[in-house]
Structure 1
Amino acid sequence: MQSREFFVNRRFFDDKHFPYGFSRSGDFTFDEVKVLESHGVLFRALSAGMVGDANDDDQHFLDVMAGKTPASSLAEKAWLKYLQRCNRAPVWLTTRRLADEADIEFEADDDEVDDDFEEAVEA
């Protein structure tokens, strides 16, 4: 276990879920990005039980993460939002589309096409 100060002064990144950063993801507001980057390392360490000297605020954060208390601060709400975005199902887009029966192309006989062409030339 490390002291709380070890985790406070570090900037938080998550290249796995947000490879272009929190601010470019479009999921977080500017204030949420600042909170996540400045406190994210501490929040992750608290959740993992790696902080040895947790204070009252840290204990309240752990209560919020356990669902005992509703989130009240911007930092707690931002961390919950971060966890939701990390655990959401991936979206897969494909460009292949199977044709329906209604998508059958127009069919014409050669005789009909020739008659229409001759009528157009005569006019």
Structure 2
Amino acid sequence: MATINRDFITKKPFNDFKNYPYGFARSGDFSIREAELLSQHGSLIAALMNVEVEPMSAEEQSLLAVARGEKAAETTVEKAWSKYQARINRPKVGSMYGRSRYTDEAFEISGGDDDDLVVED
């Protein structure tokens, strides 16, 4: 049963519709080669991270160590996955304009009568 599951996972292309709804290649964050590597190997790496499958080779153990942050990326697949993780885990920007510097209270007229302007016709 594990081999069928493993074969299904390795053949399934990886997509992240939450963060990249139009795909990795159209996002502008990844090169064409990195987008291909993510779609080919991303499902396996995600399954290794979620402990759905066990690593069977030294390459997969290395991928898992890089994905966990225990080791620096060396191969192109590892570098692409590290770049993907850095992109999806970056801090989110709340607003381009930020919070307003002025509040409504700053524009309210104070109770003093000394600076009232009276215009008569």
TM-score higher than 0.5: yes
Corresponding letter in the other structure for 2:96? L
Following TM superposition, the consecutive aligned residue runs of length 4 or more in structure 1 with deviations greater than 6 angstroms are: none
Corresponding letter in the other structure for 1:50? E
**Structure 1: unaligned runs, 5 residues or longer:** 100-123
Match of residue 78 from structure 2: 76
Match of 2:91 among 79, 89, 105: 89
**How far apart in 1 are the matches of 2:56 and 2:99?**
53
**Structure 2: unaligned runs, 5 residues or longer:** 103-121
TM-superposition CA deviations, 1:92-118 (whole Å, max 9, x none): 32499768xxxxxxxxxxxxxxxxxxx
Residues 37 and 77 in structure 2, CA contact (< 8 A), matched pair in contact too: yes
Question: Identity of paired residues, percent?
Answer: 39
Greater helix content = 1
Highest Rg: 1 or 2?
1
Q: TM-score, normalised by structure 2?
A: 0.70
TM-superposition CA deviations, 1:3-53 (whole Å, max 9, x none): 332211011111100111111111101110000011111110011111146
Q: TM-score, normalised by structure 1?
A: 0.69
Match of residue 110 from structure 2: none
Counting matched residue pairs gives 99
- C-alpha spacing 1:53/1:79, structure 2 compared with 1 (3 Å): closer
Tell me which moved more, 66-75 or 1-10.
1-10
Match of residue 14 from structure 2: 12
Match of residue 55 from structure 1: 57
Give the alignment's Cα RMSD to 1 decimal.
Answer: 2.3
Tell me which moved more, 87-96 or 74-83.
87-96
Residues 35 and 75 in structure 1, CA contact (< 8 A), matched pair in contact too: yes
Q: Report the CA distance between 1:63 and its aligned residue.
A: 1.8
